């Protein structure tokens, strides 16, 4: 439950047309897990089992401030400052104060436009179809752009018209070596009406000197049947100027509200390299028990399988053909 900690009438003393309502909301997630993982590859290629404390195998821990000011005529000024927090050691995540987002913008009948560091369109849209959280398709080598943050970004989402909305994103690379170095451009189309939802995204990103171009597109859909939500998604990734084959990933999953306090999610997520046998897949089972509306205990059971020289993993370094099993037992509190 989010709590509005400040509720004021902006410039009330001035009166007149400037007397508009303004709120700032403090929110966050505190999540920590005890994790057992095997085949962690260390120095020299040796593998070992490990028991560790992690922060947020299901939901990343965070602390944020979200603000909104009514400007009148259906227009609002908005901002978000969100910090990632590692509960295992108390340090700030992502190597920066507000690593999970820092932006300001306008929201109105025209849609929502924001400027700053923010999540990309893939994360906004495709997390309804791909499984998200700590063990997900974006952990595959070629698919980190399925869920990522971009700096120096202008993002726009249109209002929903008949269930349909469009999104656009431009991230200025601000490179000193190339006019378009570090640049990211994305587009998205989403549909949400009743039990059915669908979406599509495209992404193009360049490295700092524009010598490499990463291209990714994705499709996804879901359908809700009573207490069960069926999900499916597909993505294609191609990196130019590197000797990397085209890769694809797909996710077939289901979420089931078994009872008011119990929830299950099951996913099969595969990764394929074109023209090779260096493929990977993992299966993931999530069990959540709600202690209250804001607090749950949960279990993540994941097994990564690698064939050929594939070396995908969740912990440690990669090693060709080595599989990995993860068991994470955790608690999450949302406020």
Asked whether the predicted pLDDT for residue 14 surpasses 60, the reply is no
Note the pLDDT of residue 241.
Answer: 67
Q: What is the pLDDT of residues 305-319, one digit of tens each?
A: 999 999 999 998 889
C-alpha span between 146 and 119 (Å, rounded) = 10
Q: How far is CA 226 from CA 57, 232, 251, 255, in A?
A: 27, 17, 21, 11
Q: What is the pLDDT of residues 256-281, one digit of tens each?
A: 999 999 999 999 999 999 989 999 99
Percent of the chain having pLDDT more than 70? 93
Backbone phi and psi for residue 93, each to the nearest 5 degrees, phi listed first: -85, 160
Other Cβ atoms closer than 10 A to 17: 8
Q: What is the DSSP string of 212-270?
A: -EEEEEEEEEEEEETTEEEEEEEEEEEEETSS---EEEEEEEEEEEEETTEEEEEEEEE
- Residue 135's pLDDT band, with cuts at 50, 70 and 90, is confident
- Residue 145's pLDDT band, with cuts at 50, 70 and 90, is confident
Helix, strand, or coil here: 139?
Answer: helix
Q: The tokens 């804001």 sit on which residue?
A: 294
Rg (CA), the chain: 21
Distance of CA 67 to the CA centre of its chain: 21
* Residue 43 · residue 69 · CB < 8 Å: no
- Residue 282's pLDDT band, with cuts at 50, 70 and 90, is very high
C-alpha span between 140 and 147 (Å, rounded) = 11
The greatest distance separating any two alpha carbons of the chain, rounded to the nearest whole angstrom, comes to 71
Q: Based on the number of CB atoms within 10 Å of its own CB, is 302 exposed (0-12), middle (13-18) or buried (19 or more)? A: buried
> For the chain, what is the total number of helices (H) and then of strands (E)?
1, 18
Q: Based on the number of CB atoms within 10 Å of its own CB, is 156 exposed (0-12), middle (13-18) or buried (19 or more)? A: middle
C-alpha span between 63 and 231 (Å, rounded) = 29
**How much is the pTM?**
0.88
DSSP label at residue 293: S
Asked whether the predicted pLDDT for residue 123 surpasses 60, the reply is yes
Helix, strand, or coil here: 187?
Answer: strand
Residue spans of the domains in the chain: they are: 3-334
* Residue 65 · residue 80 · CB < 8 Å: yes
Q: What is the pLDDT of residues 179-188, one digit of tens each?
A: 888 899 999 9
Q: What is the pLDDT of residues 23-40, one digit of tens each?
A: 999 999 999 999 999 999
Note the pLDDT of residue 142.
Answer: 84
C-alpha span between 145 and 314 (Å, rounded) = 17
Q: The tokens 């410039």 sit on which residue?
A: 11
- Residue 2's pLDDT band, with cuts at 50, 70 and 90, is very low
CATH number for the segment(s) 3-334: 2.40.160.10
Note the pLDDT of residue 171.
Answer: 96
- Residue 174's pLDDT band, with cuts at 50, 70 and 90, is confident
Q: Which of 83, 207, 96 is nearest to 145 (CA)?
A: 207
Asked whether the predicted pLDDT for residue 7 surpasses 50, the reply is no
């Amino acid at each position: 439950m989010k709590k509005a900690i400040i509720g004021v009438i902006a410039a009330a003393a001035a009166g007149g047309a400037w007397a508009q309502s303004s709120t700032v909301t403090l929110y966050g997630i505190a999540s920590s897990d005890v994790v057992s993982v095997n085949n962690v590859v260390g120095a020299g290629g040796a593998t070992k089992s490990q028991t560790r404390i992690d922060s947020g195998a299901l939901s990343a821990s965070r602390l944020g401030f979200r603000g909104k000011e009514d400007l009148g005529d259906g227009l609002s000024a908005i901002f978000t400052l969100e910090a990632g927090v590692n509960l295992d050691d108390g340090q700030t995540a992502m190597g920066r104060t507000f690593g999970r987002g820092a932006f300001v913008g306008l929201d109105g009948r025209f849609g929502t436009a924001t400027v700053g560091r923010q999540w990309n369109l893939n994360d906004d849209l495709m997390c309804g179809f791909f499984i998200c959280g700590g063990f997900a398709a974006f952990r595959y080598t070629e698919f980190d752009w399925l869920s990522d943050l971009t700096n120096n970004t202008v993002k726009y989402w249109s209002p929903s018209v008949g269930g349909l909305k469009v999104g656009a994103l431009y991230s200025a690379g601000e490179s000193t070596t190339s006019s378009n170095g570090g640049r990211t451009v994305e587009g998205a189309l989403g549909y949400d009406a009743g039990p059915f939802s669908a979406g599509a995204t495209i992404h193009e990103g360049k490295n700092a000197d524009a010598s490499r171009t990463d291209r990714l597109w994705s499709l996804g859909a879901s359908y809700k049947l009573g207490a069960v939500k069926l999900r499916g998604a597909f993505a294609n990734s191609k990196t130019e100027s590197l000797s990397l084959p085209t890769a694809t990933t797909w996710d077939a999953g289901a979420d089931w509200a078994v009872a008011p306090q119990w929830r299950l999610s099951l996913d099969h997520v595969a990764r394929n390299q074109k023209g090779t046998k260096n493929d990977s897949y993992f299966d993931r089972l999530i069990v959540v028990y709600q202690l209250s509306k804001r607090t749950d205990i949960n279990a993540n059971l994941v097994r990564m399988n690698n064939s050929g020289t594939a070396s995908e993993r969740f912990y440690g370094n990669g090693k060709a053909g080595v599989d990995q099993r993860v068991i994470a037992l955790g608690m999450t509190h949302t406020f």
